[in-house]
Structure 1
Amino acid sequence: MGDVGSVGLGSLGHPLLGAVVSLASGGGVLLSGRLSLATHEWLADHAVHGVMLLPGTAFVELVVRAGDQVGCGRVEELVIEAPLIVPEKGGVHLQVEVGEADASGFREVSVYSREEADGDGAAWVRHAHGVLGSAVPSSETQYDFGVWPPVGAELVDVSGEYVRAAENGLEYGPVFQGLRRAWRRDGEVFAEVGLPEGERERAGQFGLHPALFDAALHALGVSGALAGGSGSLLPFSWRGFALEAVGATSLRVRLASVGAGSDAVSVLVGDESGRGVASVESLVLRPVDADQLNAVGGAARDGLFRVEWVDAPGAVAAGGEVASRTEVVRVVSEGPDVVGEVYGRVLEVLERVRAWVADEDLAGERLVVVTRGAVDAGDGVEDMAGAAVWGLVRSAQSENPGRLVLVDTDDVEGVGGVLPGVLALGEEQVVVRSGVVRVPRLGRVRVSGEVSGGFGSGAVLVTGGTGVLGGVVSRHLVVRHGVSRLVLLSRRGAEAEGAAELRAELEGAGAEVVIAACDAADGEALAGVLSGLPEGFALSGVVHAAGVLDDGLLTSLTRERVEPVLRAKVDAAWNLHELTAGMDLSAFVLFSSATGVLGGAGQSNYAAANVFLDGLASWRRAQGCRVCRWRGVCGPRPVA
C-alpha cells in the first residue's frame, strides 16, 4: 500500500484497479483500472436477463480497496445507482474517486465507468456513491462460525437453486455457482459457499473475491421469509461493510432480516476455521427486469433531454399585418397575489380557448396567446401565472393541432410587429427576446457523472407522503440520501391505506417518522404542522410530491374540474415556499410532469398545475433559493 501523499502515480496490482494518483484538491485519491471479458473472463458468468453485469459485490471490492489507500477501510454506506454493463467486445475504463476527509474523518467515494468504444470525449457515468470510514479495530465477527452446522438448523435442498435463479433471469456460470449447502433456523439462513478449483488461485488477489461474496448472497433464495425469496433481485444499498480477512476461497455465511417489516438483511461471513471474514450491517436488494437493463446501455449516457430555445431558422421579418381572423389574447400578471393570479389567468384563457376551438366558423384559423416572462429561455421565469397558462395551452395544442400559438415576449405591446413573421414560421411555440425569435428544440444532456446530493442533517417533509409516489420518495430519501427523519403529510395521515406498513419499513431502515393528516394546500393547517413538529425535527428539506388528476379534453373542462387540480400543486407549493422561507433548507424539490413540457391530450388542467411548479422552480433559483425540479435525485444548488 503506497503513500499517496508522496507520489503522483502509483501501481496497485489489484485485478480491477491498476493505478492510483493523489488529487490536487487535497486529501483525496483517484484509482483507475480497466475491465473486459478478455482480461476478466469470470465476469461472463454473471448475467441478468442475458446482460452481463459487474456484480454488486465487485463495487464493494472496488471501494474497499480505494478506502484502504487512505486508511478508511469501512464502507459506511454504498448505493448502487446504475448497473455497469460489461460489453461483449472491448473494455470499460474504471475510476474510483475518494474525497478528502471531513471533520469526522468520513470520506465520500464514487465509482465511474466509460466504455472504450465511446472515445475519450464521452462522459463518465457514475454507478455507485457512498461514504467511507475508519475500520473498527475489531477482529471477531458477532457469530461463532466454529460451531458448524448451527445447532437446531434445518438442512435445505439447494440442488435446484441455480435452475430457479435462471428462471428468474439470474444466469450464473460456473464461477458464480458457489452455493454448496444451506440451513434454516428461526428466520436465519446459513450457507456454505466456495470458489471452483480453477478460480481459487485468483482469490488471493482480491480482498474478498466478488464471485465468492456474490455466492454468499445466493442463499437468500432458499427462504421466502428473507428479501431474496424470488425474482431478479440485485444488491442496491450496503451499510456497515467491514472486511476482516482477505483471500478466502470458501465461506460460512449467516443471513438474517434486519427488523420486522424490513426488506434489508444482515450478512456475517466466516471461514472454515471459524475466523470472521466480513460483515454487513444492512443490505437492501431491489428487483430489476429485462426492460430496465435494455434501456441502461444508452440511456445512462445519452437518453436525457431538455428543451432548448434556439434562434428561429432564417430571419423573421418584422412588420406586416396579422391575418384578420387571427385573434391575439395578451396575458399579463402583475398582482401581488400569485396564487390568485394563477387561477384567474388559467380560467380566463381556458374559457377563451374553449370558445375558439368550439366555433366551427373559426376552423383553420389561429388563436395567439401572448405572455411576458412566462418561459425560462435562459433568463428565468417572472410570471408564474403565465407559466401555468403555457401548460394549459400546450396540452390544448395536442388536441387542436394548428389552431393555437403560444408566444412569450419581453415586449407585449410591441409584439405585433413580429407576429406576422412568427406565424409564418408555422411554429406553435416561440419566445421573443429583444426582437430575436427563438423556437423550442430537444437538446441532449450529456451526463457528467456529477450528481448533486444532500438534504441536510434535519428532517425532510414529503407531501403526498403516504401515497404510492410518496412512499417511493421516502424510501429513496432514507436509503439513497441517508435521511434519518421524515415528516410525511397526506390528507388522511396515519389512517391512509398502507401508512402503517410504510412507517414500519422506514423505521426498520433506521429513520424516525412523523405522519400527519394535513392538506398542504391549506396554509393554516400546514403552518400548524410545521410549528408543532417534535424536537429534533427542524426541516432541512422539502419534497412536494402531492397531486390530483382529473383528466378530460379541453372542451369538457370546467372551473370545478380545474381548481382542485391546481390547488393540490399550486396552493401547496406556494404555501411550502412561503412557510419555509426563513428555514435553512438544503433542498426544495418539486415533482413536476413531462406533460407540462411536452403537452398531453386530455391533461390541460394537470399541465397547467405542473408548469406552475416549473415556473416556481425557475423563479426561486433566480432569487438564490435552493430548488430542484422534477427529480428527487438532486440536492442543493449554489445560492447566489
Structure 2
Amino acid sequence: MPLMLPFAVEELEVFGKCTSGMWVYARNSTGSRSGDKIVKRDIDLCDEHGRVCVRLKGLSFREAEADRNPNPGATFPETLESFMLEPVWKPQAVHTEGESLGYARHLVILCGMTGFSSRDTAKRPGGMQFVQLELSQPDIAERFHACADQVFEMIRDLLTEKPQERVLLQVVVPSQGDQQLFAGLTGLLQSAELEHARLIGQTIILDTDIKFEELVAILEENKISREKRIRYQKGQRFGLSWNELDAKEGDVPVPWKDEGVYLISGGTGGLGFIFAHDILRQTKRSTLVLVGRSALSPDKRTRIQELSDAGAKVVYKQVDVAMEDATHALIGEILRDYGKLDGILHSAGVIKDNYLVNKTTEEMQEVLAPKVRGLVNLDEATKELPLDFFILFSSLASTAGSAGQADYAMANAFMDAYATYRNSLIKTLYRHGHTLSIHWPYWKEGGMKVDAETEKMTLQKYGITAMQASTGISALYRGLASGKSEVLVMEGELTRIRQHLLSEAMEQVIPPTAVSEIKESSSTLVETELDTGNLTDKVLIALKLEVSKLLKIQSGAIDVDLEFNQYGFDSIT
C-alpha cells in the first residue's frame, strides 16, 4: 500500500476535550473511493465511552510521491558510495549581532560542576534558574544513570506543562576526567527539542576551575547561539563541526587476525552475525564468543551452528553485560578457556520507543543499561588486557537526536564520549587497544531497518539509503584504521548528501535573529538574496523562504527537487 500524505481538510468540529486514550472511527467521505487519485476520509476521535470529541470531514490524502522511474524495479541508483565524517571541535565565536530569543524560562543544570556555592546560584542572575545535581556515586555508570534520571524527570515535567513560550535548558558538564561523560546528555536534549519545538537545549562543556561570574557570562552569551554542543577551553570557545574523511580505500588493514579471540556483545543480533561472518571469512582458527541476555531461539541456535560448521570455534554465553559480577565472571571464563581476548565489538542495545511525556524512568534505565552500564563493565573487566581494539556500535541518533528515542540517543551519545575518554587512558597506559565509536545508519540486513517506502523517501530527500553489509564492514575497517575516536558513516548519492549537509551547516551559522525574521517576514532576506544569481535561482530562494515560513521548518531542510504535494500543497495552494 503506498504511503499517503494528508494535505487538506474541509471541516473540523470540536465537541469536547480529548482524553489520553482515544478510539478512531475512519471511513471514506461520501463519493470518495480508496482507488481515487485523491482520497477523502471522515475521521471521528471518540473517548472510551464512544462519545465523539473531534470530527474531521473531508481529510484529503494523496500518494506521498509519484514513481517517476519508468522501470519500477530500478528504484535506487546503481552506484552508491559511502561517506564518512569525524567530529571536530573548532574555534567559534558567538554571533554578537544576535539577540536573545526572549525565553520565558532559562534553566541551568550543573552536572558534576561542584565549585559553585548554593549562595551564588540562588541569586538567579539574569533570571537564570540553577539546579545543581548531587552525584556522589563512586562509579561513573551509576553517576550517569543518576544524572540522566534527574534531567529526564525535569524535562518530562517541562513537556507535561506544555509550555507556550520558549524555554532554554542549558546543561553544564566538566571537560576533565570521567565527568566529561555527562556530555552524553546531549542526546536527550536534542531529542526533547525534536519532540517540543519550544524547548531549546544546549550542552556546554567547561573547565572545572571556572569562576561563577565567568559561568554566568558564558551562559548569557550562548543564549543567542544555535549550537547544541559548545565547549570552552582556557577561555576559548569551540563549536562542534563534522569533517569529511578521505574516502580512498587504499590498503586498509583487516583488524581481525588468525587464531584471534573476539567477544561480540549483542552477538546474536543482525549486526553481530554480520561481523561474526566477516571475522570467520577473513581469518583461520578464530574463536568467537557471542554474548546476549536471552536464551537462544531455535533460529539463532541454527545460525550459530552454521558458523561452527564452517570450521570456526563459536560459543554463545547468556550474560547480561549490564550486571557487573556476571561480566567479570565472563571475562575470567574466556581467559581460562582460551588464554586471551584480542578484541571487543560492543553492539548490545535495547529500544523502548516512547515520547518523553509518556516514557517512564524504568523504560529509560532499561535502554541505558547495556550501552552505559554494560560498556563500563566490559571496559573495567578488560582494562589490564592487551586488546587490539574496543569497537562501540553507536547510532546517528546520538548526533541529531531522535523523537521517541531520547533514551536511545542519550545512551549512544554516552558511548561516543566514552570512546574519547578511553583513548585518553591509553596514552597513560591505563588501557590498551584503540577505541572507536561508529555511528551506524539504517542497514539493509541486520541492525535497525526501515520499510521500503521510508527508505525510498529518505533517498529522494537526503540522498541517503540503507547501508549494505559490505559497505558497513568496509567502513568499520576504515574507521578503525583512521585512528579517530568517533566516526559517522552513511551510504547513498554523495552529491545529494553533501548538498544536504552543507545546507544544514549553513543553517547552523545563521544568527537566531535572522531565523526569527524569516519566520515573521521573509521579505528583507529575499530582497538581499535576489541581488545575485539567475532568475531560476531567485525564484527558488523566494519559494524556499516562503515554504519555510508557512511550514515553520528550516529552509535548509527544504528539497527543491521534490514535488509540491510532498509538502502538503495542492494545485490551488
Q: Aligned letter for 1:627? A: T
Q: 8 Å contact 1:328–1:369 — kept in the other structure?
A: yes
Q: Aligned letter for 1:628? A: L
> How many Å separate the matches in 2 of 1:555 and 1:475?
41
> How many Å separate the matches in 2 of 1:538 and 1:292?
45
Pair 562,580 (structure 1): closer, same or farther in 2 beyond 3 Å: same
Pair 636,442 (structure 1): closer, same or farther in 2 beyond 3 Å: closer
Equivalent in 217, 224, 245 of residue 445 of structure 1? 245
After superposition, residues 83-162 of structure 1 pair within 5 angstroms as none
> How many Å separate the matches in 2 of 1:620 and 1:536?
25
Measured after TM superposition, the shift of residue 427 of structure 1 is 3.4
Residue 376 of structure 2 aligns to a residue whose secondary structure is: helix
**Any idea what the Cα deviations from partners look like across 1:270-296, whole Å, max 9, x if unmatched?**
xxxxxxxxxxxxxxxxxxx98474213
Query: Is residue 2:175 matched to residue 1:365?
Result: no
After superposition, residues 19-34 of structure 1 pair within 5 angstroms as none
Q: Aligned letter for 1:453? A: V
Query: Residue 79 of structure 2 corresponds to which residue in structure 1?
Result: 294
After superposition, residues 277-356 of structure 1 pair within 5 angstroms as 291=76, 293-296=78-81, 299=82, 303-312=83-92, 316=96, 325-332=105-112, 335-356=137-158
Query: Residue 233 of structure 2 corresponds to which residue in structure 1?
Result: 433
Equivalent in 312, 315, 325 of residue 514 of structure 1? 315
Query: Residue 486 of structure 1 corresponds to which residue in structure 2?
Result: 288
Q: Aligned letter for 1:578? A: E
Pair 339,313 (structure 1): closer, same or farther in 2 beyond 3 Å: closer
**Any idea what the Cα deviations from partners look like across 1:536-572, whole Å, max 9, x if unmatched?**
3521111111110001111112111111111121111
Query: Is residue 2:408 matched to residue 1:408?
Result: no
Query: Residue 424 of structure 1 corresponds to which residue in structure 2?
Result: 224
Equivalent in 406, 431, 453 of residue 604 of structure 1? 406
Residue 572 of structure 1 aligns to a residue whose secondary structure is: helix
Measured after TM superposition, the shift of residue 428 of structure 1 is 3.6
> How many Å separate the matches in 1 of 2:236 and 2:99?
14
Residue 346 of structure 1 aligns to a residue whose secondary structure is: helix
Query: Is residue 2:342 matched to residue 1:540?
Result: yes
The structure whose residues are more often strand, as a share, is 1
Query: Residue 271 of structure 2 corresponds to which residue in structure 1?
Result: 469
Equivalent in 525, 540, 546 of residue 326 of structure 2? 525
Q: Aligned letter for 1:574? A: V
CA RMSD of aligned residues (A): 3.4
Query: Residue 50 of structure 2 corresponds to which residue in structure 1?
Result: none
Q: 8 Å contact 1:430–1:439 — kept in the other structure?
A: yes
Query: Residue 187 of structure 2 corresponds to which residue in structure 1?
Result: 391
Residue 627 of structure 1 aligns to a residue whose secondary structure is: strand
Q: 8 Å contact 1:317–1:421 — kept in the other structure?
A: no
Query: Residue 41 of structure 2 corresponds to which residue in structure 1?
Result: none
> How many Å separate the matches in 1 of 2:269 and 2:99?
54
Query: Is residue 2:429 matched to residue 1:628?
Result: no
Seq. identity, %:
24
**Any idea what the Cα deviations from partners look like across 1:148-192, whole Å, max 9, x if unmatched?**
xxxxxxxxxxxxxxxxxxx9x9xxxxxxxxxxxxxxxxxxxxxxx
**Any idea what the Cα deviations from partners look like across 1:27-69, whole Å, max 9, x if unmatched?**
xxxxxxxxxxxxxxxxxxxxxxxxxxxxxxxxxxxxxxxxxxx
Measured after TM superposition, the shift of residue 627 of structure 1 is 1.3
Pair 409,551 (structure 1): closer, same or farther in 2 beyond 3 Å: same
Equivalent in 333, 354, 379 of residue 552 of structure 1? 354
Pair 370,510 (structure 1): closer, same or farther in 2 beyond 3 Å: same
Residue 417 of structure 2 aligns to a residue whose secondary structure is: helix
Pair 497,609 (structure 1): closer, same or farther in 2 beyond 3 Å: farther
Query: Is residue 2:261 matched to residue 1:459?
Result: yes
Residue 372 of structure 2 aligns to a residue whose secondary structure is: helix
* Structure 2 runs not aligned, ≥5 long: 1-70, 113-134, 427-431, 439-474, 486-573
**Any idea what the Cα deviations from partners look like across 1:447-485, whole Å, max 9, x if unmatched?**
242535324543101111122221112112222466711
Measured after TM superposition, the shift of residue 523 of structure 1 is 2.1
> How many Å separate the matches in 1 of 2:245 and 2:284?
27
> How many Å separate the matches in 2 of 1:497 and 1:387?
41
Residue 249 of structure 2 aligns to a residue whose secondary structure is: coil
Query: Is residue 2:378 matched to residue 1:576?
Result: yes
How many pairs are equivalent? 343
Query: Residue 134 of structure 1 corresponds to which residue in structure 2?
Result: none
> How many Å separate the matches in 2 of 1:394 and 1:381?
24
> How many Å separate the matches in 1 of 2:315 and 2:106?
55
**Any idea what the Cα deviations from partners look like across 1:499-523, whole Å, max 9, x if unmatched?**
3322232223331111122112122
Q: Aligned letter for 1:472? A: I
Q: 8 Å contact 1:356–1:362 — kept in the other structure?
A: no
Measured after TM superposition, the shift of residue 639 of structure 1 is 12
Q: 8 Å contact 1:477–1:483 — kept in the other structure?
A: no
> How many Å separate the matches in 2 of 1:319 and 1:410?
23
Pair 529,489 (structure 1): closer, same or farther in 2 beyond 3 Å: same
The structure whose residues are more often helix, as a share, is 2
Q: Aligned letter for 1:454? A: P
Pair 531,553 (structure 1): closer, same or farther in 2 beyond 3 Å: same
Measured after TM superposition, the shift of residue 405 of structure 1 is 2.4
> How many Å separate the matches in 1 of 2:300 and 2:95?
58
Q: 8 Å contact 1:410–1:432 — kept in the other structure?
A: yes
Query: Residue 122 of structure 2 corresponds to which residue in structure 1?
Result: none
Pair 520,449 (structure 1): closer, same or farther in 2 beyond 3 Å: same
Q: 8 Å contact 1:595–1:607 — kept in the other structure?
A: yes
Q: Aligned letter for 1:417? A: A
Residue 542 of structure 1 aligns to a residue whose secondary structure is: strand
Query: Residue 613 of structure 1 corresponds to which residue in structure 2?
Result: 415
Q: 8 Å contact 1:381–1:618 — kept in the other structure?
A: no
> How many Å separate the matches in 2 of 1:547 and 1:614?
14
